[in-house]
Amino acid sequence: MRLFALAGTFALVIAAGAQEPQPPKKPNPWRDGPAEPPAKDKADPNPKEAPKLRLPGPAGVGRLVPDVAFTDLAGKAGKLSDFKNNKLLVVAFTNTTCPVCKKYAPALQRLQKEWAAKGVAFLFVNPTKTDKPGDHGFAGRYVHDTEGTLTAALGATSTAEVLVLDAARTVQYRGAVSDQYGLGYALDAPRANYLAVALTDLLGGRTPVIQATTAPGCELVAKPLAAAEVALTYHARIERIMQANCVDCHRKGGVAPFALDTYDDVVANKGMIKKTVDKGTMPPWFAAPPKKGEHSLFANDRTLTDSDKKDLFAWLASDMKKGDAADAPLPRNYSTGWGLGKPDAVFQIEKPIAIKAEGVMAYQNVIVPTDYDEDKWVQGLEVQPTAREVVHHVLVFAVPKGSRGVGGEAQGFFAAYVPGSTALVYPEGYAKKLPKGYDLRFQIHYTPNGKATTDQTKLGLVFAKEKPRYEVRVSAAVNPTFSIPPGADNHKVVGSIPFIPWDCRVLAFFPHAHVRGKAAQYELKTPDGKTTKLLDVPHYDFNWQLQYRFAEPVSVPRGSGLIYTAWYDNSDKNPANPDPKKTVKWGPQTYEEMHLGYVEFVIDSRAASEPVVGPKGEFKFPKDGVLIPAQFKQAFMRFDTDGNGVLDEKEFNALPPAVKNVVIEHVKRTAP
């Protein structure tokens, strides 16, 4: 089960009891506000440098490290395989001259002592040939890697980097110890304990919430000739590529049509593997690739690295050697329980839904009641079908009790499930509100697979201990008035959120269309008139309802607008098109269409408007005005006299009483 958490798969884990010292240049995008998404991998003119999130694949997470021989400072020879009886091995690069290394030394000494009893070994590596590490102060084995053999084999990038290897020498984490120290700054206490959290996750049988970061220190350049090679065999290389990218779905009990978790499975399906990887449909990721010299902005980018793709194709074109079983990665364990831990509350569809063996099924909409007499703040969510093999996707909406969900998919979006992405955990201090008096509407899309079955999907929630400082919200740019002509192969539809009334940060986008959906993009228009493309999906695929989560949330100033554009193919060239001779309009079924650009964002509750709902439920006009919901834009156009998408107090007072009540109810549902 892949557990998706915010900011890089994704949540920055805030250290308990951390102080609020003067921060470096935005070292923590969750607490201090993020920088704009980095556009290029180029030198930053700012001398201060803190750890930044990295994608696991390009960082080498999931790769086998060769069994390199070394001699430690005490003269004892060894190999990395000497640590195979330990649950985990931390390889910590360090030296006695780099200022960052010297500052991290006490923390590494404490971590070594703390984790030893839990089966975690530490190996300290000094990659600086001219260093004199006689009095290094570490109790564990210490290697002065003067020839650069270990440094090259592990691909170390700085003197302050740590790697966590499992018993099969597979890299499970690479990056910084914490964010306490970096280049040009120091904090009184760490706010993100990357290494400790990764060790906790791994010993608990979970993929680390954060798998890779940069590690600011003295930069290293590995010697290419010193790097030991990993054999291009199934066990040493290909099995790890499958584990990291495919077997979440392609395994027994998974949603994919066949398994890829054994050698025989991979060989039997080699033709389809090559075709889908070469075509770019697998692993599923449909955002446009970054330009040359740039890197992906998305923490959940599933694109295979060039080296993974090259090695996979080379092996498939060869005699496909199985290799030494001793090189195999540890088997993956897939829990049938909750990926986010034990939920505080579980809401399940009351009666099992029958899924037929053949044909297609209309969307199923089921209301599941809640009985809370107060607002609940949700920090973790996980949607769990009981028959995953036939569930295409699930959307869960929070709707007023007794409501049938007026506003449809454009209102109340709360949680989602797609194969390979089931759970979402927000960092400490972040939560999403489930208002009192609201129920949950499950909208489920089933895809019959030849065998009749039943499903009883459920939603698990973990509640925050207190009202959060940062509130997570979901809105949508929507245009429900479109009409796609028969035969149109590139019909453009535009919707927008014309005025954003707060300073906020965008966490993720979730474009949604049906089988005629062809492409989509999001653009941000800031008050200075500048328009920036934030997401481009040139090949939308209805079969994968993907979310696109930023590694660093995007800062959006008050008064900005968000433009969502989608293109549709209603021609006979679209093989999924049920009827190219039909004019297509908005509708809930797959033979109809939708234009929905969900956006998940976060606001600082301290900076939001003053409360708009009093202690007895009375309405108070907010100082920032009332944002007109996108789905009501046409109806309210004549009352919005200045056309800014917000009703100020004068415009609000001019509304007819019945219309005013609609606005008041909307504000009460969406107020902080």
Query: Residue 476 falls within a domain, yes or no?
Result: no
Is 271 found in the same domain as 197?
no
| Of the residues 442, 468, 494, the one at which a domain ends | 468
> Region 513-542: what's the mean pLDDT?
94
Q: What is the pLDDT of residue 4?
A: 36
> 193 and 282: one domain?
no
Asked whether the beta carbons of 47 and 182 are under 8 A apart, the reply is no
Q: What is the pLDDT of residues 75-95, one digit of tens each?
A: 999 999 999 999 999 999 999
**Residue 23: its pLDDT value, please?**
32
Mean pLDDT, residues 55-84 taken together: 94
Residue-wise pLDDT for 646-663, tens only, equals 778 888 888 888 777 777
Of 33, 31, 2, 10, residue with least CA distance to 425: 10
> For residues 7 and 372, which has the higher predicted lDDT (pLDDT)?
372
606-619 mean pLDDT: 59
Confidence band of 97 (pLDDT split at 50, 70, 90): very high
Q: Is residue 523 predicted with pLDDT exceeding 90? A: yes
Q: Cis link prior to 283 (omega < 30° from 0)?
A: yes
Last residue of a domain, one of 194, 226, 258: 226
**pLDDT surpasses 60 at 24:** no
Do the beta carbons of residue 597 and residue 509 sit within 8 Å?
yes
- Determine phi and psi for 79, rounding to 5 degrees: -135, 165
Report CA Rg, the chain: 26
On whether both 283 and 190 belong to a single domain, the answer is: no
The pLDDT of residue 659 is: 76
Mean pLDDT of 178-201: 92
**What pLDDT score was predicted for residue 53?**
87
Residue ranges making up the domain that contains 668: 609-672
Say yes or no: 372 and 402 in one domain: yes
Q: Mean pLDDT for the chain?
A: 84
DSSP-derived letter for residue 455 is E
Decide if pLDDT at 66 tops 60: yes
Lowest-pLDDT range of 63-67, 149-153, 467-471, 497-501: 497-501
CA-wise closest residue to 172 among 337, 311, 10, 329:
329
Q: What is the pLDDT of residue 490?
A: 97
In a domain, 480, yes or no: no
The residue from 226, 242, 275 where one domain ends is 226
Side-chain half-sphere CA neighbours of 281 within 13 A? 10
Whether the per-residue pLDDT at 613 is higher than 70: the answer is no
Q: What's the confidence (pLDDT) of residue 666? A: 65
Closest CA to 352 of 442, 416, 418: 442
Same domain, 318 and 175: no
Domains of the chain: total: 4
- Looking at the domain assignment, is residue 481 inside a domain? no
Q: Do residue 359 and residue 294 come from a single domain?
A: no
How many other β-carbons are positioned within 10 Å of the β-carbon of residue 55? 21
Q: Detail the DSSP E strand segments found in 176-237.
A: 181-182, 185-186
Q: What is the pLDDT of residue 411?
A: 61
pLDDT confidence of 115, banded at 50, 70, 90?
very high
Instruction: Give yes or no: residues 357 and 253 share one domain.
Output: no
Residue 39 and residue 121 share a domain = yes
CA-based nearest residue to 599, from 567, 637, 636, 554:
554
Q: Report which of 444, 581, 583, 592 is spatially closest to residue 516, judged by C-alpha positions.
A: 592
Does residue 589 lie within any of the structural domains? no
Give the model's pLDDT for residue 237.
96
Q: Is residue 77 a part of any domain in this protein? A: yes
- Residue 73 forms part of a structural domain: yes
Residue 576 covered by a domain: no
Least confident piece of the model among 367-376, 540-549, 628-637 = 628-637
Two structure tokens written together for 1: 């089960």
207 has pLDDT over 90: no
Q: What is the pLDDT of residues 124-171, one digit of tens each?
A: 999 999 998 888 889 889 999 999 999 999 999 999 999 999 999 999
Quick one: pLDDT at residue 27?
32
Q: Which region among 67-71, 83-87, 330-334, 560-564 has the lowest average model confidence (pLDDT)?
A: 330-334
- The proportion of the chain whose per-residue pLDDT surpasses 90, expressed as a percent, equals 57
State the pLDDT confidence band at 9, using cuts at 50, 70 and 90. Answer: very low
Q: Quick one: pLDDT at residue 360?
A: 85
Q: Are residues 112 and 151 both part of a single domain? A: yes
623 has pLDDT over 80: no
State how far the Cα of 516 lies from the Cα of 173, in Å rounded to an integer. 40
Gap between the Cα atoms of 424 and 193, Å rounded: 20
Q: State the average pLDDT over residues 570-599.
A: 93
Task: Please state the rounded mean pLDDT for residues 581-609.
Answer: 86
Residue 469 has a pLDDT of 85
The arithmetic mean of pLDDT across residues 533-553, rounded, is 91
- Does the residue 150 lie in any domain? yes
Res. 1: pLDDT tops 80: no
pLDDT of 669 over the 60 cut: no
Q: What is the CATH number for 427?
A: 2.60.120.230
Tokens standing for 350? 């009351």
Q: Which residue has the higher pLDDT, 94 or 607?
A: 94
Is the domain of 118 the same as that of 219? yes
Average pLDDT over residues 602-619: 64
Same domain for 125 and 151, yes or no, is yes
Average pLDDT over residues 38-52: 64
Task: Check residue 80 and give its pLDDT.
Answer: 96
Answer yes or no: do 274 and 293 share one domain.
yes
Q: Tell me which of 45 and 30 has the higher pLDDT.
A: 45
Residue with token string 């993009």: 521
CATH number of the domain residue 144 falls in? 3.40.30.10
Indicate the pairing of strand 171-175 with strand 162-166. antiparallel
Per-residue pLDDT band for 120 (boundaries 50, 70, 90) equals very high
* Range scoring the smallest mean pLDDT among 9-13, 195-199, 537-541, 598-602: 9-13
Measured at the alpha carbon of residue 23, what is the angle toward residues 17 and 27, in degrees to the nearest 5? 95
